Chain A
Amino acid sequence: MNVQILERNEDSMLFVVDGITASLANTLRRIILSEVPCMAIDDIMIIENDSVLHDEILGLRLGLIPLKTDLDSYNLPEECSCQSELGCPLCRTVLILDVEARGGERVVYSKDLLPENPDVAPVSGEIPIVKLAPGQRIRLEAYARLGRGREHAKWQPVSSCIYRHVPEIKVDAGRCDACGECVEICSRNVLERSGDKIEVKNMLECTICRDCMRVCPQEPAAISVDGNENSFIFYVESTGVMPVERIIEEAFKIYDKKYSEFLDQLLVSLNVSEKD
């Protein structure tokens, strides 16, 4: 197995994994989407809401605000030792919003949400939550907690998590007459004509649409495009709640935990049946 990182920004990562199967790649994708926990506002106590947005819509908007997540200091409510419906300081945190429009119109931004724990603050302070007309006021307490993407998409730590096959492009130099039709049709500018040869310029851009094979005048086509079944281009884009590396690391931990639990239970059952 070989992993090569192609591009890495603050919030996204593009990498190639060689030597795994589609089922394994998909396991990683699905765990990231539905199992890796992150913080989001869940319960809201609305004390006053004069704005034109109804409480429900306001609640929905607050829930969708991505919050910076510190997985080491918070527990998932279902795994927390308090087992309380209301939660404890180990499994929830409060954000307070108290804004009044005095004088003129006022836009309420995510930076107006005052977090109890500064480590659990909105990813961006510039998200408009609602607009208040003069004299209107909003007062509320929002309770944020960890949750998983399978429960609600607001707990999904990524906005994009995809993989595709690494393309394999072969040009049969013996039969290719370098007419350039394939270079012309390619919408991703993958191919290039250099002299009397067709060369692959940037293979990773190829989406395996096979337009070049269809347009080739040779019979059968002198160019062949296929996906390598055992290597994948992964693209993971975080919503900003956690660094991408942490999300992937966490996904593998969850995978490990699931299977070690499985194994433990299996061994327990085997021991029981042997005793019988």
Chain B
Amino acid sequence: MIIPVRCFTCGKLIGDKWEEFSRRVKEGEPAGKVLDDLGLTRYCCRRMLLSHVEIIDEVARFYGGKAVEEAEG
């Protein structure tokens, strides 16, 4: 759904690294290099970012009606 705050296995903080990771990978940098730069050395933390699919944007769309509803009364 949304990037987990910590690595499931070791507990390292990874949440704050997702946005940089996803932006740089989208810009065409090799994922492995970005992970090295972010200081993720263990493969448990690396898979957290590597295998993550940010799906909350898709879900949030369907909850966006509240503002519209309120505006229309």
Contacts and interface: CB of A to CB of B under 8 A. Distances in A.
Interface of A: 50-53, 57, 61, 64-66, 105, 110, 123-128, 130-136, 153, 156, 158-160, 237, 239-240
Contacts of B63: 50-52, 133, 136
A156 B11 contact: yes
Contacts of B16: 110, 124-127
Given A65-B5, A126-B16, 12 more contacts: A52-B56, A52-B59, A61-B5, A64-B4, A66-B6, A105-B60, A127-B13, A130-B56, A135-B64, A136-B67, A153-B11, A239-B6
Contact of A64 (B6, B19, B59, B64): B6
A124 B13 contact: yes
Given A128-B19, A160-B12, A239-B13, A135 B70 contact: yes
B2 A131 contact: yes
Contacts of B3: 128
B26 interface: no
Q: 6 smallest A-B Cβ distances: which pairs?
A: A135-B67, A159-B12, A127-B15, A126-B16, A133-B64, A64-B5
Contacts of A66: 6, 13
Give the contact-size bracket for chain B.
Answer: 20 to 34
A153 B2 CA distance: 20
A9 B19 CA distance: 24
B1 interface: yes
B2 A134 contact: no
A131 B42 CA distance: 28
Contacts of B12: 159-160, 237, 239
B60 A132 contact: yes
Contacts of B2: 53, 61, 128, 130-131
14 contacts: A51-B63, A61-B5, A123-B13, A124-B15, A126-B19, A128-B3, A130-B2, A132-B60, A133-B63, A135-B70, A136-B63, A156-B11, A159-B10, A159-B13
Given A128-B18, A160-B12, A52 B60 contact: yes
A64 B5 CA distance: 6
A134 B18 CA distance: 23
Instruction: From B4, B6, B13, B16, name the one whose CB has the most chain A CB atoms within 10 angstroms.
Output: B13
Given A64-B6, A128-B18, A128-B19, A133 B60 contact: yes
B66 interface: yes
